Structure 1
Amino acid sequence: MKISSQLLAPVVALVAAASLTACGGGGGGTAATPSAGPAAVNTSAPLYSALPQAIKDKGSIQVGSDIAYAPMEYYDTDGKTVIGFDKELGDLLATELGVPVVFNNSTFDGLITQLQSHRFDAAISSMSDTKERQQQVDFVDYYLSGSIMFVKAGNPNGLQSVDDLCGKTISLQRGTTQEEYVTSELSPKCEQAGKGKVTVMAFDRESEAMLQIEQGRAVAGIQEYPVAVYNTQQSKGKFQIVGEQVIAGPLGVAVSKDNTQLRDAVQKALQAAITDGSYQKLIDKYQTPQSAVKQATINAG
């Protein structure tokens, strides 16, 4: 998938944004910083009546997100405005549901806990829908994505696929599907083959993980495919993609299991956006046709 060239925010800017957003306190390790978002409630919206009364009373859907994950969700150059695919998806949902979908910044690995404690109503943060996570939250699946390896420009270690990572050190974002894949599948496979385990350096932010590769402390990273493509394109030649996608599957809007009414309302809103073509326009804008879903499914991962 090729990410739109209009989203101009180089990796160095991503690092700076991550440094700024990592300074706060609160659950999950960083302060919740809400996005501006649309301000008006529209009680005449097609699916307003499908919302839980608590959401109607509050007048918004408060979403948790790790807002340092371009091109999916990140801050614009002003350091305040949330932009990206997931943010625009939230705006599509808001149009159908009639209440603003407000993004709040948090660390990725704290999002599920914050949903369960009802700090947030939902999480939209490029979160993979997996069987393990389905034990804790429900997902409305909106995007198909895999993971892919990237390395320092020039590929100094001659890596061709993830199988070449056996016995080597890589850097990843903590709490992600990529970390789970390496520790529970790839590394054991390497050890069984007698090639040595994959050593993982884990960080709260993708930008921190990428810095380890640039400085030679790790030989590679694995990121979600659209993110890896975007980051390598915007790195001004510092990184390159290597090999093919692995562990492809759906990303979902996560909702607490005790909030099935909100889950179902989100599913209906996404399906409406798919049906009327506004979802496809968003897919086209970000030039990720392989990621489009044909139906809004629940827990399809």
Structure 2
Amino acid sequence: MFNFNGRRRAVIGVAGAALLTLSLAACGEKESDDQPGAGPSVTADADSALAAKVPDAIKADGVIKVGTDATYAPAEFLDTDGKTVIGFDVELFNAVAQKLGLKAEYEAAPFDAILPGVDSGKYEIGVSSFTINPERMQTVNMVSYFSAGTQWATKAGNPNQVDPDNACGKKIAVQTSTVQVEDLEARSKKCTDAGKPAISIDQYQSQADATAAVVSGKNDAMLADSPVGAYAVQQSNGQLEVLGDIYESAPYGYVVKKDQTAFAEVLQEAVQAVIADGSYEAALKKWGVEGGAISTSAVNPAS
């Protein structure tokens, strides 16, 4: 069985693109050149030695099929055309794929459908801010490429006086199948064990809906990966603010089938190569998430 909990998290400052889908997305405004993610795409030169190590079945058509949940700005989300997947995850993996002599082809999918899609061969890789954890590594290979943590956010001024360490009785928004769901469940149990009201955990299929629920006042606060929380605050035009500190840092990983260890190893080499040539840093800086950079990639790293 696949463990879908433990989606993602990240450690950083502000980053860029359309998570909120409230005023900016509704107006269809385009990013200005000084916003995160604006400007030309980052590219990486192919490495013939690494490209030669890519399994024949994957390199035969020169394309690598990627499953991604395109609702998680600024990591992966749809551009204003409603079909092109963009974000820092996309920018970075494009450089990794180029290093391997491949072109990444993205297909948007529900987050909890990506791992089964990788296992069935529908996707050749999953790139969707997957937090690396022991449960997931039992069923797939994971290649680290980024560091991440959890961040809370609430209405500006915290009118409902939400305390992340004592949110008993509060209504909290979260995206379904994420590590943050388990986080809230554990916090809620502490509340009830102490004789206090449980946390009301409202799960949403997309992070944009969770964020909108806080903006509208339906929920008192939310928690998400830190670049997502920071971006939501940035895009809310003063309606939201971050709450508390970033915590529980963990790596994100690319996901490939469990029997494709050799492919996982060459992916790790490609990540290390883009770190070495500077395209890694350029991609993260473009999106304002360089605080989550790692110096060394690994296959199935110990937690």
2:238 paired with 1:237: yes
Equivalent residues in 2 for 1:125-164, closer than 5 Å: 125-160=128-163, 162-164=164-166
CA gap 1:79/1:45 in 2 versus in 1, 3 angstroms? farther
Q: 5+ unaligned residues in a row in structure 1: which ranges?
A: 18-37
Offset at residue 261 of structure 1 (A): 2.1
Q: In 2 relative to 1, CA 3–45 (structure 1 residues): closer, same or farther, beyond 3 Å?
A: farther
The Cα of 1:174 is off from its aligned counterpart by 0.6
CA change 1:250–1:9 in 2 (3 A) is closer
Report deviation, 1:147.
0.6
More helix by share: 1
**Is the Cα–Cα contact under 8 Å of residues 148 and 244 in structure 1 kept in the other structure?**
yes
The RMSD of aligned alpha carbons is 2.3
Q: Identify which range, 275-284 or 149-158, moves more after superposition.
A: 275-284
Equivalent position to 1:12, from 22, 34, 38:
22
- Give the conservation status (yes or no) of the 8 Å contact 1:46–1:98: no
The structure whose RCO (Cα within 8 Å, separation 6+) is larger is: 2
1:56–1:218 distance in 2 versus 1, CA, 3 Å: same
Shift of 1:153: 2.1
CA distance in 1, matches of 2:113, 2:176: 10
Structure 1: distance between partners of 2:87 and 2:19 = 11
Point out where structure 2 has 5 or more consecutive residues left out of the alignment: 1-11, 28-40
Q: Which runs of 4+ in 1 moved over 6 A?
A: 13-17
Distance (whole Å) between structure 1 residues aligned to residue 176 and residue 157 of structure 2: 26
How far off its partner does 1:10 sit? 5.5
Check whether the contact 1:11–1:234 (CA below 8 A) recurs between aligned residues. no
Query: CA–CA distance in 2 between the matches of 1:240 and 1:287?
Result: 18
Alignment-derived partner of residue 113 in structure 1: 116
Q: For 1:113-262, what aligned pairs fall within 5 Å after superposition?
A: 113-160=116-163, 162-183=164-185, 185-262=186-263
> For 1:77-125, what per-residue CA distance to the aligned partner results, in whole angstroms no more than 9, with x for missing partners?
2223222101111111122100111111001121111111111111111
Report the equivalent of 1:89. Answer: 92
Task: Specify whether residues 14 and 104 from structure 1 end up closer, same or farther in structure 2 by C-alpha distance, changes over 3 A only.
Answer: farther
What's the counterpart of residue 14 of structure 2?
A: 3
Percent identity at matched positions?
A: 34
CA contact (8 A) 2:67 2:106 kept: yes
- TM-score w.r.t. the length of structure 1 is 0.84
The count of residues paired between Structure 1 and Structure 2 equals 275
